[in-house]
Structure 1
Amino acid sequence: MDVHIKAEFEKSGFSLHQEEEILQKCLTYCINFTLTPSDLVSYWEVYYLNRQLNGLTVENDDLDGFLSQLQNEHKESIIKEDSQLHVYSSNDVDMLLNTEVEHDNNVQECFLSSPINQYETSQLDSYNSPASNLGTIERPSSTGKLSKFISNHTTPFGQRSNKFVSLFSLNNDEDIESGTKVKNLEDSEDDIIRRVRPSERCSLQIHCSQPEPGCRFMYDRTEDKCNALENRIQRCHVQFSASEQYGMPTSATLASEKSIFAVGMICCDSEGRLNEKSILLQGSIEHSGGERVRLDLRKLPQFSFYPGQVIGIEGQNPSGHCFIATKVVDSLPSAPYTGLPPAKRPALDLENIKAPTSKILSVVIAAGPFTTTDNLLFEPLAELLAYASRKQPQLLVLIGPFVDSEHPEIKKGTIDVTFDDIYTVEVLRRLKDFLEYMGPAIRVVLVPSIRDANHDFSFPQSAFDFNIDTSHQITCLSNPCIFSANEIMFGCTSTDIMKHLSSEEISRIPSNSPSRDRMSRLATHVLNQHSFYPLYPPSTAVPLDLSLAPKALEIPSVPDILLLPSDLAPFAKRVPVGETIQVEEASKCMCVNPGRLAKGIGGGSFAEMHFNGNPEKTNVCIIRI
């Protein structure tokens, strides 16, 4: 074909400057825009005359502008095609009744979907990849059937060969193994049999979802910040005192040759990054007047510190200016133990283990962005819903951002629709069609993100506020939030606390220590501090408002499942909680980072989980999309 292209250019009197490179690009244009060599040269002549180019030599630098003209011509042709009315025939009726239509091999398969409004038409024209082929996107239609929405372009996301690949499996005895392809969605099971299969609706209870929608934010004062930090130190001081394991805590600033136990918050002596020479311990205002003392870590065999961490520390302060640490307790006593004598604690553990439980739940978890960076078609979200429609989980947890403020098109401000319109059409309407197809058995939980362009930029963050017909199946929660499904407690935050802790943490870990697993250690910090965001000062990307719902960041008890979506590597781990827990089963929490559903112009990952009574028996699979 490149020979024909060259012949057509020479026939029109044009010569090629960099022949091989120009023919490569022209061949791509012919394939992407379905052009013959003569049509391509005709378009070039129009472009040559409009731009008034000098000479009859085709330069490589002029092809970028030529590509823009081809895209504009192709867009206008699409608009004309979409504006034509469709006359329904008997074939359309048969297609709706039988969900299958036989086509000729040369005719592409196309299913009816809900009408496309003006916004979606502009989406097809403006946000597709410039160089692409014809492709199919799985999408639920308003008729209640999963239809195939035909796009006039195929994005790099749509060109991938393997749709779903298992990256990691935990306690998974099924045929999904690490590094192998997941079974094709088009299994042999009949759709009608799958639809009538009985499915039990899961219960859903909200424990903490603050602040309320419409609240005022970013009005915090220095006094509010001081009180929030003081309350954290005071609460830990009370818990250590009630545990009676380390004696009564005293001030670390008092000079003493004897070994003492103190409670305080880790901080840095300057605005730089924390290190072993700059680490300080700040006590509470009530017990030490808020004074700080330098820490000497030479005698500690291992430690893991970050700014804002509240710890119990044992050691000596001979001079009153430097506290020589010999032991660190970075996990607070469990809430059930507070105020109980030591003799009753083992009995409480045994009672918790012997209590009968029916905690069984299937859940799919995904975190945004839900669209690739080269368009706003939300193809990964459509693929996720198609996957969930076949797996039929009881709960679908979607964590923001939904309309990502970091998306290139949104950052450049080139879109001509509001963020709320994108959220309503591309997210809510897809979910509504998905729920109509799935029926009343499934429930959906939506958690916002501070990166959502259509929501308040504050943390903690209120829930989405919207009106939709299936609102009884969709539950909007705040960021962070705590909820229960089938008596299984979930803790969730969309703020990337794992990444922020990773950049601020300093540690000394022996080579034979089990805590060398960095991901588990970072997740343990969140659980041990009983806070969704224990880091202070916060990251510059987090608009932390400590006056807004002060208890919203607290984790009152260890959840069964802790969802911490992050830009770090996806994982699913059983994390031990506490320093000295006698019963191992009572100290486990399943921490999951599902990853991002979309990464760049390609797909990311999500998590599928089957909770079977406790974290030890829970099956988790991280799947790349």
Structure 2
Amino acid sequence: MEEEIMLEFKKIGFSFHKEEEEEVLKKCLTFCINYKLSPSDLVSSWEVYYLNRQLDESVVGNALMDGFLLHLQNEQKEAVIKEEPHLHIYSSNDVDMILSDEHEEIKEDILGTPSDRSGRHHADPFDSAQRTNGNSSSYGKPSNHVTPFGKRTSKFVVQLTVNNPPSAENGKNENKFENVDDDIIRRVQPSKRCSLLVHGSRPGPGCRFMYDRIEDRFNSLENRIKKHTTALVATGLYKEPTDPTVASQKSVFATGMICCDGEGRLNEKSILLQSSVQHSGGQRVRLDLSKLNQFSIFPGQVVGIEGHNPSGHCLIASKILDSIPVSAPTDVDLHPAKKQARDEEFQSADSSHKLAELSLMVAAGPFTTTDNLLFEPLTELLAYARRKMPQLLILLGPFVDSEHPEIRKGTVDRSFDEIFHLEILRRLQDYVEYMGSAARVILVPSIRDANHDFVFPQPAFSIHPPDLKHQITSLTNPGMFDANEVKVGCCTVDVIKQLSGEMISRNPTDGSSRDRMTTIANHILSQRSFYPLYPLAEGIPLDFSLAPEALEVSTIPDVLILPSDLASFVKVLSLGGRNEGEELVKCICVNPGRLAKGEGGGHFVELNYQGSPDKTSASVIRI
């Protein structure tokens, strides 16, 4: 029968590597026996697999067998579903994943010896074509090559938990068979597809940038001060602001932007307040915060100040208002045209029933280690996601990192677009095909993506995967969307790290102090801006003429995702409640860290939203 299989392959022009021929034919024979296929049927399926993956070389290689096996399993499953559409397919492969502590081994070992399995452990299961590139890496990695990432001893270790989520895999499997029945039941039950409503679509793909003018910058900053002022006055708690540069013995209320009097870092002696053109002609006045018990400020922050200016040269503050009240009215709802629904099938659903429940995993690039371009961390993340079956997988750039050593040296022989499509999109397509129609993936670009526009705000990736456009969605950076009525906002610029370097604060004298990361995350929401810092940090290509409304946090999200190089965290933020009768709003802020750090693994976050931030469970997991 092996001879028949070989003849069928040769009939349509395929050949074998001499050193792999025997092993490949044995695997093909096993496929025929397991799936009751004739040699001609098997080769026909191979031809479909070959064409779908757009493979270049007409050689049946051992490295392609895992992907071909997955293709055969999907064909069998689709055939059964056509006959019985409500039947769930449960394979022995699922049992192996549940009972085995090696979660990344997601595919069946066919006729494999222990040494063979060890080699396949480091081979890419999504292999589509073998390529050699000297030091540069690709799908077809040699099975005997073990990278530093592959030598890790502990995998998927829970570093931090919030609200005691279900235990994740910690490299140890002490309770290997505990609650196995429950795990199997959960694995059998297909997860329900989540709804998705994307807010805003600007800037669009192919937009023109680098055309901003001084006037655009001025208008953007002036509008921020105006909106902040309008929101404070609309609450009825504060009167119309006055000019803070005018000498007065009486207490005054003023609004403006925090500035530094020089090019260095902000300090207590260099603080200026720049008021609006309407109230002071845009003039600046020195700001004295010595009488305040506590404060936290940074350049570009828009604040309200209560105080007096006896000399006309220095405004002595008695109170600082560093946030827009949550109850303040906004004009967001006046512009429904800015909201775009990507999934029309969910718009017609009954909107009175709000799910407000969502399981998601969040990971931020780089997705490959610095010593190669094999994207091993991404492969293991997707293997973990197959086991956990989240409704939504959120991946934030950079995907093709412009700071990767091989990208910077120019030692790769493929274009950046080719690397993105072959190493990222193809893996994600295999993931959603394996998981079924309920799985969804969201991609958010980064200014470090070598294959995308270097501008902020940033348009979405222009990708249109065939038959998967309702499962793989690209957002703008920053972007906001609703999934199962859970509002999510995300921005891939490391604003947390940049604010941390510019912010100055004073803790209260009673010894109580707020967590610094919580304070920074609160500033993002309090300022209603994904990037409230000004002047800009070095290397940020902010274009003020390009959809300035894209930087606005139009509504307080339930989940705010801000990836950073700083330590990973998941924190519950509280806004409002300072004034009598004001609503207290809570939000979960997530910094998933980086999936790859140097030659080793990094972190990602697994989160289950259950109606409110207080009931939400989350884990920061080291890969």
Whether TM exceeds 0.5 here: the answer is yes
RMSD (CA atoms): 3.1
Residue equivalent to 1:255: 247
Task: Tell me how far 1:304 sits from its aligned partner.
Answer: 0.9
Secondary structure of residue in 2 paired with 1:385 = helix
Work out whether residues 94 and 101 of structure 1, in 8 Å CA contact, stay in contact via their aligned partners in 2: no
Summarize the Cα distance change of 1:107–1:317 in structure 2 as closer, same or farther, 3 Å threshold: closer
Residue equivalent to 1:517: 515
Identity of aligned residues (%): 55
Summarize the Cα distance change of 1:185–1:602 in structure 2 as closer, same or farther, 3 Å threshold: farther
Task: Tell me how far 1:152 sits from its aligned partner.
Answer: 3.0
- Counterpart CA distance in 2 for 1:372 and 1:502 is 26
- Counterpart CA distance in 1 for 2:221 and 2:550 is 14
Secondary structure of residue in 1 paired with 2:198 = strand
Match of 1:310 among 291, 294, 302: 302
Alignment of 1:29-44 (within 5 A): none
Secondary structure of residue in 2 paired with 1:495 = coil
Residue equivalent to 1:405: 402
The amino acid across from 1:122 in the alignment is T
Residue equivalent to 1:366: 363
Residue equivalent to 1:166: 158
- Counterpart CA distance in 1 for 2:171 and 2:506 is 33
Secondary structure of residue in 2 paired with 1:519 = helix
Secondary structure of residue in 1 paired with 2:576 = coil
The amino acid across from 1:245 in the alignment is L
Residue equivalent to 2:266: 274
- Counterpart CA distance in 1 for 2:165 and 2:324 is 36
Secondary structure of residue in 2 paired with 1:213 = coil
Secondary structure of residue in 1 paired with 2:225 = helix
Matching of residue 457 in structure 1 with residue 449 in structure 2: no
Task: Tell me how far 1:101 sits from its aligned partner.
Answer: 2.7
Task: Tell me how far 1:100 sits from its aligned partner.
Answer: 4.3
Summarize the Cα distance change of 1:271–1:113 in structure 2 as closer, same or farther, 3 Å threshold: closer
- Counterpart CA distance in 2 for 1:250 and 1:427 is 54
Residue equivalent to 1:122: 132
Summarize the Cα distance change of 1:116–1:327 in structure 2 as closer, same or farther, 3 Å threshold: same
Match of 2:321 among 322, 329, 348: 329
Q: Deviations over 1:119-176 (max 9, x none)?
A: x5225x53369xxxxxxxxx9xxxxxxxx98733111111111110000000025345
- Counterpart CA distance in 2 for 1:438 and 1:521 is 39
Alignment of 1:330-369 (within 5 A): 330-334=322-326, 336-337=328-329, 358-369=355-366
Match of 2:534 among 522, 533, 536: 536
- Counterpart CA distance in 2 for 1:550 and 1:112 is 42
Work out whether residues 399 and 446 of structure 1, in 8 Å CA contact, stay in contact via their aligned partners in 2: yes
Matching of residue 566 in structure 1 with residue 558 in structure 2: no
Work out whether residues 165 and 181 of structure 1, in 8 Å CA contact, stay in contact via their aligned partners in 2: no
> Where does the alignment leave 5 or more consecutive residues of structure 2 unmatched?
1-16, 35-68, 74-91, 93-107, 332-351
- Counterpart CA distance in 2 for 1:80 and 1:186 is 47
Summarize the Cα distance change of 1:257–1:465 in structure 2 as closer, same or farther, 3 Å threshold: same
Summarize the Cα distance change of 1:245–1:581 in structure 2 as closer, same or farther, 3 Å threshold: closer
Alignment of 1:127-138 (within 5 A): 127=136
Bigger CA radius of gyration: 1
Q: Deviations over 1:473-532 (max 9, x none)?
A: 011000000100000000100000000000111111126465520000000000000000
Residue equivalent to 1:13: none
Q: Deviations over 1:95-117 (max 9, x none)?
A: 64774434444544659966632
Q: Deviations over 1:434-453 (max 9, x none)?
A: 00000000111100000000
Alignment of 1:485-504 (within 5 A): 485-504=483-502
Residue equivalent to 1:287: 279
The amino acid across from 2:417 in the alignment is D
Superposition TM-score, scaled by structure 1 size: 0.76
- Counterpart CA distance in 2 for 1:230 and 1:309 is 12
Match of 1:219 among 180, 197, 211: 211
Task: Tell me how far 1:472 sits from its aligned partner.
Answer: 1.4
- Counterpart CA distance in 1 for 2:261 and 2:410 is 41
Work out whether residues 219 and 547 of structure 1, in 8 Å CA contact, stay in contact via their aligned partners in 2: yes
Residue equivalent to 2:30: 91
Match of 1:101 among 99, 110, 123: 110
Q: Deviations over 1:363-385 (max 9, x none)?
A: 00000000000000000000000
The amino acid across from 1:435 in the alignment is V
Residue equivalent to 2:422: 425
Work out whether residues 209 and 480 of structure 1, in 8 Å CA contact, stay in contact via their aligned partners in 2: no
Summarize the Cα distance change of 1:171–1:514 in structure 2 as closer, same or farther, 3 Å threshold: farther
Work out whether residues 262 and 312 of structure 1, in 8 Å CA contact, stay in contact via their aligned partners in 2: yes
Summarize the Cα distance change of 1:181–1:279 in structure 2 as closer, same or farther, 3 Å threshold: farther
Superposition TM-score, scaled by structure 2 size: 0.76
Secondary structure of residue in 2 paired with 1:261 = strand
Secondary structure of residue in 2 paired with 1:587 = strand
The amino acid across from 2:532 in the alignment is P
